Chain A
Amino acid sequence: MLPAEQAAPSYLTDGNTLRSWLATHDHKRIAILYAVSITFFFFLGGIAAALIRLELATPAGDLMSADTYNKTFTFHGVVMVWFFLIPSIPNTLGNFLLPIMIGARDVAFPRLNLFSWYLYVAGGIFTVACLLLGGVDTGWTFYTPFSTMFSNSNVMLTVVGVFIVGFSSILTGLNFIVTIHTMRTTGMTWFRLPLFVWSMYGVSLVMLLATPVLAMTLALIAAERLLGVGIFDPALGGDPLLFQHFFWFYSHPAVYIMVLPAMGVVSELITAGVRRRIFGYRFMVYSIIGIAVIGFLVWGHHMFVAGQSMYASIVFSILSFIIAVPSAIKVFNWTATLYKGDIAFGAPMIYALGFVGLFMLGGLTGLFLAATALDVNLTDTYFVVAHFHYIMVGGSVMAYLGGIHFWWPKITGRMFSEAWARFAAILMFLGFNLTFFPQFLAGAEGMPRRYHQYPAEYGLLNILSSAGAVLLAASYLLPIGYFLWSLRFGERAGNDPWGAEGLEWTTSSPPPTHNFEAPPVVTEGPYAYTHP
């Protein structure tokens, strides 16, 4: 080493050409690539959501035909699930933070990491093209035999697009698992890992083991449409329930792909906001692993009315109640961490608290749906729609944005406007509840999902929901504004603007290309705040 060596340049200034970004192996730059592209897909899916809420503002089907409406909600679902929610936290915050949090220079397979992004982009462009040119009317679930025999829409090419993006997910999961196993720095033992890293471990297991099942199932659908054979078609001797088993074997754990990372983010936000150790660290770890594992055994709760055996339904119902236990442990432990604490209500903390509240409501209504008798009435109503939006939008998106705010100074080296950020966070919480709480009521009163018109008696609840969607849209657009502003005019952030603990706060903001000047050595557990 030269004696008078300059401080290493930050990863943002290490190469300014387009090529230095598009051919980068730096996990931090790849995280930025993901962040930009998933934001693009988020707003695409958001436009579809806006159209849906606009159509449902009035009882009559006046904006679009039933057929167009079907294609619109399919577009919304496919884009939001596979091109925003699944990659959201793992591929942006996970990519950026995971190596830094364990004190590594990069992920184990940097080129594979970049390749995942290209797969994601290729799959995304291909799928969106299919959804726009011709469209798909099956819903994001592609239920057979409708999707294989009857739908005259672009099913085959769309499932190919989702198939491609599935590989991006698998490779990311593989990369993270290997990174966590083999790249931890000196002294970073398993039980000194921040909970965010543990959540990345849990989510990677799910990505790795569930996604191949979806990919192969979608390949079978494509083959059925191409060859006119019916593994999933009763008219040709096949079994349509088999499709649902395969599909939910992936798609229930997929919910945990969206929620486990959110839980990881929230654990970091809460401990930093109250400057305390997390309550019951080991229980938090075990509940992450518990959720990841039990999550594989509950898929049948999506099939209570599909003709599945009654005994299977009972077992799936019981298991679905059991998985609520580790989820509840997490909520209790966050609450205990906050209890009688000196809480700083910065924007990240507001998002985190919003997450806890909305996740609780989403989780508890999930128990309604896990009860077989109640589910018979609530299946395919707006109650289900509200429930999973509380988990996926209220939970995951709140946590994602909370995380983006929390680590923004680290990622960009700049501070954002705290006042605007708090305003956006509160607006999001209010807008979200106004949008989706009425849907619980509409669903409980029997309003079915996936229709473009409805009886006038549901009018009030739907107009409330559409009004809430306007607030929600505004709260999603606001951060774009003040974040862009901060890139240019924001105050410079020091290494640790929040006074938070964790390896990522010991390096400069933004970090140098290889993350640390010298490999850090870890001597204590995470969240080593001075107050007990």
Chain B
Amino acid sequence: MNAHAPHTAEQFDDAAQQRDAATLGMWAFLATEVLFFGVLFAAYTVCRVIWPDAFASASRHTDLTLGGLETAILLTSSFTVALAVRDVQLGGRRLATGLLCGTAVLGLVFLAIHGFEYYHDYKAAVIPGIRYEEVGGFAAQERLFFFLYYVTTGFHALHVSVGVVVLLTMALRTHRAAFGPGYHTPLEVSALYWHLVDIVWIFVFPLYYQVGRA
């Protein structure tokens, strides 16, 4: 009766059903993530419309070079994780393990650079609630910019951190040959999650680092 494949949980009839469920589940989860970040982007838009000048002047405090570097790192990491999935699909293991570890390292480098930015902000006293000194005519409204900047990038960094742990777990499982051409759903949905982390940043970067800088 129970002719279940080794990787198929008992509530599923077969591996294909399980794969469909896991994939759809991840897409549904990503939809909720979009709405989580959507609130922050909407708040940003409204405040920016109300205080265009304050937001323009505040956005000059962010570091365009470091932000650009972070963008490049995340984009590269999305590429490497996609290669890892492809390699496993084709039956590879060692290259995929390396690529997954590399992706995780890129995530860690991203976090390190971000930490460096936060440290700079701390020295410049532009972290609302922690160290903030009002300067110039728009200070109160500039504080809104920095508040949203910290909530958004902080929430995003939290996602990157979770992603790094997930990627390392996947690297370990790949190394132990848990996946192959026939079964690699966890790896695939983890990669999907990592792509979302990347896509969110694609919106954060222009909004907080680029718009209204000139």
Contacts and interface: CB of A to CB of B under 8 A. Distances in A.
B11 interface: yes
B195 interface: no
Contact of B148 (A1, A181, A210, A231): A231
A229 B129 contact: yes
Contact of B11 (A104, A209, A231): A104
Interface in A195-212: 208-212
A227 B25 contact: no
A238 interface: yes
Interface in A350-374: none
A212 B35 contact: yes
Contacts of A209: 31-32, 35
Given A105-B11, A239-B46, A216 B36 contact: yes
Given A107-B11, A220-B39, A237 B32 contact: no
A178 interface: yes
A7 interface: no
A1 B2 CA distance: 9
A174 interface: yes
B84 to A, nearest CB: 25
Interface in B111-155: 128-130, 140-141, 143-144, 147-148, 151
A1 B151 contact: no
Interface in A206-249: 208-213, 215-217, 219-220, 223, 226-231, 236-239, 242, 246
Interface residues of A, number: 43
Interface in A177-193: 177-179, 181-183
Interface stretch (B16-24, B100-108, B167-175, B201-209): B16-24
B50 A231 contact: no
A170 B128 contact: no
Contact of B24 (A182, A213, A220): A182
Given A109-B25, A178-B24, A230 B144 contact: yes
Contacts of A292: none
Contact of A236 (B13, B33, B143): B143
Contacts of B24: 177-178, 181-182
A411 interface: no
B28 A237 contact: no
B91 interface: no
Given A108-B11, A236-B143, A174 B28 contact: yes
Nearest to A174: B28
A182 B17 contact: yes
Given A213-B38, A220-B39, A223-B151, A229 B11 contact: no
B40 interface: yes
A237 B51 CA distance: 8
Given A183-B17, A226-B129, A231 B35 contact: no
Nearest to B38: A213
Interface residues of B, number: 38
A213 B39 contact: yes
B20 to A, nearest CB: 5
Contact of B32 (A107, A208, A226): A208
A520 interface: no
B214 interface: no
B79 interface: no
B21 A237 contact: no
Contact of A216 (B11, B28, B39, B140): B39
Q: Is the interface of B mostly helix, strand, loop or mixed?
A: helix
Nearest to A237: B141
A231 B43 contact: yes
B118 to A, nearest CB: 15
Contacts of A1: 1
Contacts of B130: 227
Contacts of B9: 110
A183 B24 CA distance: 12
A220 B43 contact: yes
Nearest to B143: A229
A268 interface: no
Most buried by B among A1, A236, A519: A236
Contact of A177 (B20, B28, B140): B28
Contacts of A174: 25, 28-29, 32
B39 A246 contact: yes
A215 B50 CA distance: 24
Given A178-B28, A208-B28, A242-B46, A183 B11 contact: yes
B47 interface: yes
Given A174-B29, A237-B141, A217 B39 contact: yes
Given A178-B25, A236-B143, A227 B32 contact: no
Contacts of B20: 181-182
B197 to A, nearest CB: 16
Nearest to B40: A216
A106 interface: yes
Nearest to A5: B1
Nearest to B44: A231
A211 B130 CA distance: 29
A333 B22 CA distance: 37
B140 A236 contact: yes
A244 to B, nearest CB: 12
A215 B35 CA distance: 10
Contacts of B46: 239, 242
B144 A208 contact: no
Contacts of B31: 208-209
A510 to B, nearest CB: 19
Nearest to A519: B13
B151 A178 contact: no
Given A108-B11, A216-B36, 10 more contacts: A108-B25, A174-B25, A174-B28, A211-B32, A212-B39, A216-B40, A227-B128, A227-B129, A227-B130, A228-B129
15 contacts: A106-B10, A108-B12, A173-B28, A182-B21, A183-B12, A208-B31, A212-B33, A220-B39, A220-B151, A223-B147, A229-B129, A231-B147, A231-B148, A237-B47, A239-B50
Interface of B: 1, 9-13, 17, 20-21, 24-25, 28-29, 31-33, 35-36, 38-40, 42-43, 46-47, 50-51, 54, 128-130, 140-141, 143-144, 147-148, 151
Interface of A: 1, 104-110, 170, 173-175, 177-179, 181-183, 208-213, 215-217, 219-220, 223, 226-231, 236-239, 242, 246, 519
| Shortest Cβ-Cβ A-B pairs, 9 listed | A227-B129, A216-B39, A212-B35, A106-B11, A229-B147, A237-B141, A108-B21, A182-B21, A212-B36
